[in-house]
A and B are shown apart, each in its own frame.
Chain A
């Protein structure tokens, strides 16, 4: 067994987990970029995404032996519902918990964010109970490298591929949206200077709500993927995932979407490497250690914020 192959395997693990983190991190960064608010309920929105998908999967009674077309149809439904529910949820959270406090002292929306986080956690607790719940393993799990005739211990299965197949197009679409559409332009304008954007006729409230909706939809997709990939759902999963994703966003330069994706992948890989070569108990320490060092020497993150006057 070559050590290089093990390293490759660890990288595959890290990149898949990192892709999920990136989706969640984007939600933090989009919102922060526009209204400089850290939406601490975001991790729990992601949890609700997993729970929504789980409800669909259990409700439809899917298993690996379901007919492929039924499986695909219901998976699509689960993805769509998870994204929809989370987008709507995030929009409601913005409307109820953040918008009334937009001009309040900064601590106020922070407290409501934590409050919303608890409300969602308790919804999750009521929904599926306190223990980790098994998410049925319904994706075909075929080792692609072996299918290609490669003789290696590295496994890259259809499950890993599935995560990338859903994540990458979402990231590309988001990029297109931000940089190639009128609404995206409005978002960037609002991020740069809210008052000036309002002066040129941009509907600020709608633009901010849009950032929450997009962030929520991405969190929903991440929740859906996490359930299918990790085969577990837990009402507290959003707490840790949220912390890691938030760290990714800061690492990449909060407010910068490309940075959030990069940060997610870096943290995913670093976590996998520490898990494997050091000890899982050190993983969080290493991740936050890197964050601290980075912030000391490069306070604006890896890529920095794209709007210079915010820093």
Chain B
């Protein structure tokens, strides 16, 4: 737990109910200065509602929020000057060029980098005079992050910064985030990509249905899994659950379509036994894969659903 005096963002008992959904249902979070904090969860988990309440854009129903030790109610203008935001779905004006857009945003802030320098940092300098409407998805997203960085913020809020981007664009954005973090900046990001959270975040909060279901460093969270390895296989005909649970060191299994997924203590022990069980049933192995457990597996084991399609 970070020191209270050193908090960039904190919220206690945060609640937001819409007509028929409890989007956020009693959430406590604290983000230390200089930390990269991830909100991980499936679509509809309440990530966007949470981050937008913390950004002072969405009113909350209950709870306390402090950003940089201040509240939105009392210090909105000052806070706006000190944070940078990239929303999930903003489309910047198609008719303006990249440099025009960034120069416009620069005018709103008291201090900040030269727009041209920032474009160079984000490898957008070649697109300097291109219309925003002509940019690729990755370039647009980098411009959105540039607009968040143009006020030289203390905290960067990123709502699903890489959703829908190609792998190379994701890497470029991760690089931008890492450099901001290395410069002492605080980051709060939401994502439903567990690899993004594992790679970028110092600490992660996993949220589902507006509740916090796990909190910690990526390593701590994965350690919460009862078993560190995952085996996924299909056979013809299918095996019964009892056959699978009989495998030594198997901590549980989940059916995913045709495939079974096992959480096991040791691959060296479990794989040969599983083969034996398949033989004993007179079945044939169709596919087999194994991997070290990830946050995705943690989410599946905690909720029975997958991050991507929950």
Tell me whether A and B are bound partners.
Answer: no
